[in-house]
């Protein structure tokens, strides 16, 4: 008799079920159990991370609310063959009259906030017009010429620039907020053009944010490397003490550290005071070190330094001291041994620290706001500004999405160059 | 843990939201301002419980609450342009039909007329008056040995009064002052802004003249530190902060009242408030002339109702420490003549664009 053991389905367990089936069942049960274990975490991530980010991405392209209010007007508007400095035909005015006159008050109210992003003045134009239109609708005597009536109500309706700015609102799904986020807007034919010169602010802010982050990352690396090296190579009792000096500020409130830097750096502050006392500076020649870019970079570097030191330290700690000795034994000068043997081994730490510091710096808000003065308005400032003050959530989301995009590109680049497996956080 | 204790904890957990919902919740700015509100409007109120929560301003959180249908704030303390926008968007409930039920002035003047006497004519339909706060220039008289600055033009004159100036990182307040310093009459500032093309350019040109001498601040406590430490010789600040330093901390700062921008502060009823009627009753209490005057005992923001000022004047020394407070009130009839009264409607139209332009101006 021959038993074919190569096909498992012929092997039965004690209760008569084929082994394969039984194994699959157990495996599935294990999988379910494992899934149930991580399920709360998964749910947490979905609710607190995926959903809000998805919502943000949707908001950055969504313009359906205004299309719901001005559906008729936009339909007529799209038919209008625009010529320079011409007003739209009667049909557009009529549709607008009807959209405003018979539309829901609150929806119109919400739409004007959005209209005002395209051109200042929409808010009061629509509000004043609406009051008059309501009177006319109530009286029942509809106008013979809607165009003349509207222009009579408010001369804003004879201003082509209002009509042209409407071209920014026509699509339910729109990239306009992304264009706004890089100082572009639409002209009357929905062609992308530069924002008017005095309103161009975002490109400069993106560059400034990027610059600050690069500087801060660089200075953190330059300052953090020797400290981490020292920490990793000193005898334990000294290095523990030094570690406290790294961690203590790390555990101190961000606001306290920021304010401390103002006290140190301001014109009548500690550093200027000492320099004047030593006679290095004259009393009138005190240096402006805070409320500008210098102050921002100094404070941010100090605050983010631990994020560089800690990953570097954890990497350097495990590099055997014998490596350097071996290199020198084989004839390398200390510099060469360091460059060829030690430095390459610290790359995982440097890149982890660099990525951490850069990512944190690019979204920084409160420290530049407090010590930066006129230079302190990084992109985080404008995101908060549009979230709270102008409630332009479309632009706010677009800025956030671009920031997220930049991070993803960086991450991808990092993965290409260094490899994500090489990251070491501790 | 005993069963009883468990049951009790469970019960209190379940019961908590219900007991809490009977209170009127007011969101306000916190700090000394909210303290003064609690003393003037809550400690004096017997008809129900009112609790205050802090927020950082802006309509963002309110919109999120109303949109998601989970309104937890009944009343919010907001800036004037937000009062208008929030009312338009339906974030606040229209209470204009109730205005007749609000407390009249002691001489019988209605609330609306009482506010008009202070120069406020554009009350949003959803809100009740609170206080006036202002952007005002102040300085330490000890910092000037000879002549001391007295006009807003002196703030823009760095040859006559050398030294740095403290200015905030947004445009409102500063551009109005620039126009007054450039020769526009305070009560004509908004007329010029509305009707003259290039008025904003004119303000920016004036601001350019001191651009290199500005230290920008963004937190309200900062200008006092800047002036005190000598970092700047003059600064724009919220008048209440300067008043507090003078009245409670023994400072001796001087104001340049000319060209100050008077802004209105409102309390508004949030749409879908779970305690609408209780909240409205409290709003009526908090906007009476007596309540508003009482707030000036604790902070030097001016009552928006003109009759409030009369009560303070008659009751001097009014400040809770027993000092005269009228010298720090920003909206006495004399000061109203040399101040710019904020026009939130214009600002809600143009503020966003001007703030962007101001951001670009600062950065270059």
Distance from CA of B85 to the nearest CA of A (A): 7
Written as six digits, the tokens of A394 are 């479309």
A62, two tokens: 């969504």
Q: How far apart are CA A188 and CA A170, in angstroms?
A: 11
Q: How far apart are CA A262 and CA B48, in angstroms?
A: 45
Per-residue confidence (pLDDT) for residue B342, from 0 to 100: 92
CB–CB of A374 and B362 under 8 A?
yes
| Tokens matching residue B199 | 């008025």
- E strand or H helix at A136: helix A122-139
B interface mutation test: which of A388, A393, A394 has the most B CBs within 10 A?
A388
Tokens of B238: 């919220």
Chain A neighbors of B364, CB-CB under 8 A = 204
Helix (H, G, I), strand (E, B) or coil at A422: helix
Rounded Cα–Cα distance for residues B231 and B213 (Å): 11
**Chain B residues with beta carbon closer than 8 angstroms to that of A291:** 215-216
Q: Tally helices (H) and strands (E) across chain B.
A: 16, 10
Contact predicate B51/B25, CB 8 Å: yes
In Å, how far from its chain's centre is CA A164? Answer: 31
Per-residue pLDDT of chain A (426 residues; tens, 9 = 90+): 455 555 555 677 777 788 888 889 899 999 999 999 999 999 999 999 999 999 989 999 999 999 999 999 999 998 888 777 788 889 999 999 999 989 888 888 889 888 988 888 898 899 889 888 988 988 888 888 999 999 999 888 998 889 988 888 888 999 999 999 999 988 877 889 898 888 889 999 999 999 999 999 999 999 999 999 999 989 888 888 999 999 998 888 988 999 899 889 988 889 998 999 998 888 878 888 888 899 999 999 999 999 999 999 999 988 988 888 898 888 888 899 888 889 999 988 898 899 999 999 998 988 998 898 888 889 999 999 998 888 889 999 999 999 999 989 988 888 887 777 766 555
Place of tokens 């001097």: B316
Give contacts of A267 with chain B, Cβ < 8 Å.
230-231
The fourth-level CATH superfamily of domain A202-422 is: MetI-like (1.10.3720.10)
Tell me the residues of chain A between 288 and 307 that have a Cβ less than 8 Å away from chain B. Answer: 291
- B110 vs A384, B14, B64, B97, CA distance in Å? 40, 45, 35, 14
CA distances from B331 to A239, B239, B307 (A): 62, 11, 12
Grouping H, G, I as helix, E, B as strand and the rest as coil, residue B277 is helix
φ/ψ (deg, to 5) at A144: -80, -40
> What is the residue-averaged pLDDT of chain B?
89
Chain A neighbors of B90, CB-CB under 8 A:
105-106, 109-110
Alpha-carbon distance of A185 to A174, in angstroms, equals 12
CATH superfamily assigned to domain B142-262+342-363:
Periplasmic binding protein-like II (3.40.190.10)
Q: Residues of A with CB below 8 A from B65's CB?
A: none
Residue A250 C-alpha, separation from nearest chain B C-alpha, in angstroms: 24
| CB nearest A391 (choices: B59, B90, B361) | B59
Q: How far apart are the first and last CA of chain B?
A: 66
The alpha carbon of residue B87 is apart from the nearest alpha carbon of chain A, in Å, by 8
CA gap B328, B322 in Å, rounded: 14
Find tokens 């000890």 and name the residue. Answer: B142
> A373 and B231 in contact by Cβ < 8 A?
no
> Going residue by residue through chain B (364 aa), what tens digit of pLDDT does each one get?
455 555 554 544 444 444 444 689 999 998 889 999 999 999 999 888 999 999 988 898 998 899 888 999 999 999 998 998 899 888 999 999 999 999 999 999 999 999 999 888 877 789 999 999 999 999 999 999 889 999 999 999 999 999 999 999 999 999 999 999 999 999 999 999 998 889 999 999 999 999 999 999 988 889 999 999 888 999 999 999 999 999 988 899 999 999 999 999 999 999 999 999 999 999 999 999 999 999 999 999 999 999 999 999 998 889 988 889 999 999 999 999 999 999 988 998 898 889 999 999 988 7
- What's the full length of chain B, in residues? 364
pLDDT at A106: 82
* Domain ranges across chain B: 3-133+264-338, 142-262+342-363
| Architecture of the domain defined by B3-133+264-338 | 3-Layer(aba) Sandwich (3.40)
Picking from B62, B64, B88 by the largest number of A CB atoms within 10 A of its own CB, the best residue to mutate is B88
- Nearest residue to B310 via CA among B328, B331, B279: B331
Inter-chain CB proximity A110 and B59 less than 8 Å? no
Is B346 at the interface with chain A, CB within 8 A?
Answer: yes
Nearest alpha-carbon partner for B216 in B162, B170, B178: B170
Environment class of A80 (CB within 10 Å of its CB; exposed 0-12, middle 13-18, buried 19+): middle
Q: Do domains B3-133+264-338 and B142-262+342-363 have the same CATH topology?
A: yes
Does residue B356 sit at the A interface (CB-CB below 8 Å)?
yes
Cis peptide before A163 (omega within 30 of 0): no
Nearest-by-Cβ selection for A120 from B88, B353, B364 = B353
């Amino acid at each position: 008799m021959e038993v074919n053991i190569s096909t498992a389905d012929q092997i039965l367990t004690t209760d008569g079920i084929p082994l394969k089936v039984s194994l699959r069942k157990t495996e599935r049960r294990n999988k379910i159990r494992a899934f149930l274990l991580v399920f709360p975490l998964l749910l947490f991530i979905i609710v607190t991370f995926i959903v809000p980010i998805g919502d943000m991405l949707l908001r950055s392209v969504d313009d359906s609310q205004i299309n719901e209010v001005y559906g008729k007007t936009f339909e007529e508007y799209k038919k209008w063959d625009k010529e320079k400095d011409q007003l739209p035909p009667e049909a557009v005015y009529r549709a607008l009259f009807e959209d405003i006159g018979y539309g829901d008050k609150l929806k119109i109210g919400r739409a004007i906030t959005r209209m005002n992003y395209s051109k200042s003045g929409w808010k009061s134009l629509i509000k004043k017009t609406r009051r008059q239109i309501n009177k006319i609708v109530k009286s029942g005597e509809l106008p013979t010429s809607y165009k003349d009536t509207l222009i009579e109500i408010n001369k804003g309706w004879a201003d082509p620039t209002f009509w042209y700015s409407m071209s920014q609102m026509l699509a339910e799904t729109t990239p306009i907020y992304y264009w706004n986020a890089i100082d572009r807007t639409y002209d009357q034919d929905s062609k992308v053009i530069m924002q008017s010169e005095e309103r161009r602010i975002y490109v400069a802010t993106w560059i400034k944010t990027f610059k600050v982050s690069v500087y801060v990352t660089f200075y953190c690396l330059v300052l953090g490397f020797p400290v981490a090296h020292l920490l990793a190579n000193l005898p334990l009792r000294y290095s523990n003490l030094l570690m406290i000096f790294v961690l203590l500020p790390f555990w101190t409130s961000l606001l306290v550290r920021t304010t401390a830097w103002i006290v140190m750096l301001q014109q009548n502050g500690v550093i200027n005071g000492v320099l004047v006392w030593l006679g290095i500076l004259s009393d009138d020649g005190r240096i402006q070190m805070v409320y500008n870019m210098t102050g921002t970079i100094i404070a941010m570097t100090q605050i983010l330094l631990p994020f560089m030191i800690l990953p570097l330290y954890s990497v350097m700690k495990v590099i055997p001291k014998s490596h350097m000795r071996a290199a020198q034994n084989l004839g390398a000068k200390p510099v060469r041994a360091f460059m060829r043997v030690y430095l390459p081994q610290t790359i995982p730490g440097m890149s982890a620290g660099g990525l951490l510091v850069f990512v944190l710096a690019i979204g920084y808000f409160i420290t530049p706001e407090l010590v930066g003065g006129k230079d302190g308005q990084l992109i985080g400032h404008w995101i908060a500004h549009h979230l709270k003050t102008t409630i332009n959530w479309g632009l706010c989301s677009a800025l956030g999405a671009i920031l997220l995009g930049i991070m993803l590109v960086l991450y991808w680049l990092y993965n290409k160059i260094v490899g994500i497996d090489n990251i070491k956080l501790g | 843990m005993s069963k009883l204790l468990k049951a009790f904890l469970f019960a209190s957990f379940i019961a908590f939201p219900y007991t809490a919902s009977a209170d009127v919740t007011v969101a306000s700015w916190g700090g000394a301002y909210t303290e003064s509100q609690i003393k003037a409007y809550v400690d004096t109120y017997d008809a129900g419980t009112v609790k205050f929560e802090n927020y950082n301003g802006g309509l963002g959180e309110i919109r999120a609450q109303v949109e998601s249908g989970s309104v937890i704030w009944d009343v919010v303390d907001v800036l004037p342009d937000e009062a208008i926008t929030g009312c338009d968007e339906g974030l606040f409930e229209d209470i204009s039909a109730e205005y007749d039920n609000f407390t009249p002035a002691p001489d019988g003047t209605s609330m609306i007329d009482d506010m008009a006497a202070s120069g406020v004519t554009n009350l949003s339909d959803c809100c009740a008056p609170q206080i006036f706060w202002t952007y005002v220039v102040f300085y330490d008289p000890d910092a000037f040995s000879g002549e001391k600055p007295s006009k807003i033009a002196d703030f823009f004159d760095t040859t006559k009064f050398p030294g740095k100036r403290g200015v905030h990182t947004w445009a409102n307040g500063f551009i109005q002052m620039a126009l007054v310093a450039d020769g526009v009459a305070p009560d004509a500032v908004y007329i010029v802004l509305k009707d003259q093309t290039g008025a904003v350019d004119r303000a920016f040109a004036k601001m350019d003249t001191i651009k290199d001498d500005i230290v920008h601040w963004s937190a309200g406590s900062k200008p006092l530190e800047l002036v005190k430490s000598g970092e700047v010789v003059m600064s724009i600040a919220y008048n209440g902060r300067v008043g507090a330093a003078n009245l409670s901390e023994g400072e001796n700062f001087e104001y340049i009242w000319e060209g100050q921008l008077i802004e209105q502060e409102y309390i508004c009823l949030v749409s879908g408030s779970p305690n609408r009627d209780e909240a409205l009753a409290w709003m009526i209490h908090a906007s009476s002339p007596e309540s508003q005057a009482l707030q000036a005992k604790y902070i030097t923001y001016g009552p928006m109702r003109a009759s409030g000022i009369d009560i303070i004047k008659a009751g001097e020394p009014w400040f809770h420490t027993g000092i005269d407070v009228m010298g720090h009130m920003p909206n006495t009839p004399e000061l109203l003549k040399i101040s710019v009264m904020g026009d939130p409607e214009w600002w809600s139209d143009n503020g966003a664009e001007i703030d962007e332009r101001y951001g670009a101006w600062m950065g270059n």
